[in-house]
Amino acid sequence: MIKTLYLIHHAKSDWEEPGASDFERGLTDRGYRDINTIGSYLLLRGIVPDLILSSSALRAQESADRLAKKVGFEGPLLYLSELYLTPPETILETVMLQEDDADTIFVIGHNPQLTAFANMLTEEHVSKIPSMGVVAMRFDIDDWQGLETQKGDIDFFIFPKQFKYYLPNQIRAVLDRNG
């Protein structure tokens, strides 16, 4: 059986909010636009997860909520303090605890932990997952416990700046239609 994990760095966060703690930072306008762009790409590919796991930090929650809406996700969305600035081993343990009937999981979190987690799971190298970047990884496993011993293959690695100068007509149409 194939399990697919989408590692997603939250959208661009706002550093301008006076007095806001790191945990309370929201998103910038660019962050919202980037969610629409990446969400449109995922929607065009027909990618809808069975489960979304998100850091409980505000910027991650906003990213998860908007991305879920963009791709038409109606399943469980969990905000977990275990995904807020924790070691990659903790992210691994969190994913391994998920029910095996979820074949596709989005994990929305932070760097550098998310990039380190991606590199822990594959023989390929990911230098850095930028804001709203997505690393899609496939694993030939029957249950999420298999992540402990099985390396995955990167299906794709996308990020908003890839679409800065060239926005495929299909994505543009989805953006225009769903704003």
> What is the amino acid identity at position 137?
M
**Amino acid identity, position 27:** L
How large is the average pLDDT for residues 142-163? 93
Q: Tell me how far apart the alpha carbons of residues 86 and 81 are, in angstroms, rounded to a whole number.
A: 9
If you search the block for the tokens 């990446």, which residue do you land on? 38
Kindly indicate the confidence band of residue 177, based on its pLDDT and cuts at 50, 70 and 90. Answer: low
User: What is the 3-class SS of the chain, one letter each residue?
Assistant: CEEEEEEEECCCECCCCCCCCHHHCCECHHHHHHHHHHHHHHHHCCCCCCEEEEECCHHHHHHHHHHHHHHCCCCCEEEEHHHCCCCHHHHHHHHHCCCCCCCEEEEEECCCHHHHHHHHHECCCCCCCCCCCEEEEEEECCCHHHHHCCCEEEEEEECHHHHCCCCCHHHHHHHHHHC
Q: Return the domain boundaries, the chain.
A: 2-178
Question: Does position 62 have pLDDT exceeding 80, yes or no?
Answer: yes
- Angstrom distance (rounded) from CA 100 to CA 159: 28
Burial of residue 87 (number of CB atoms within 10 Å: 0-12, 13-18, 19+): exposed
Query: Which of 41, 58, 48, 74 lies closest to 158 in space, CA to CA?
Result: 41
Return the minimum-mean-pLDDT range out of 12-21, 58-67, 149-158, 167-176: 167-176
Q: Residue 172 pLDDT more than 80?
A: no
pLDDT value at position 137?
98
Contact 79, 107 (CB under 8 A): no
Band (163; pLDDT cuts 50, 70, 90): confident
Banded pLDDT at 167 (limits 50, 70, 90): low
* Whether CATH 3.40.50.720 fits 2-178: no
pLDDT, tens digit (0-9, with 9 covering 90-100), for 18-60: 666 667 778 889 999 999 999 999 999 999 999 999 999 999 9
pLDDT one-digit tens code per residue, 74-133: 999 999 999 998 999 999 999 999 999 999 999 999 999 999 999 999 999 999 999 999
What is residue 162's predicted lDDT score, i.e. its pLDDT? 85
Amino acid at 21: S
- Averaged pLDDT for residues 131-159: 96
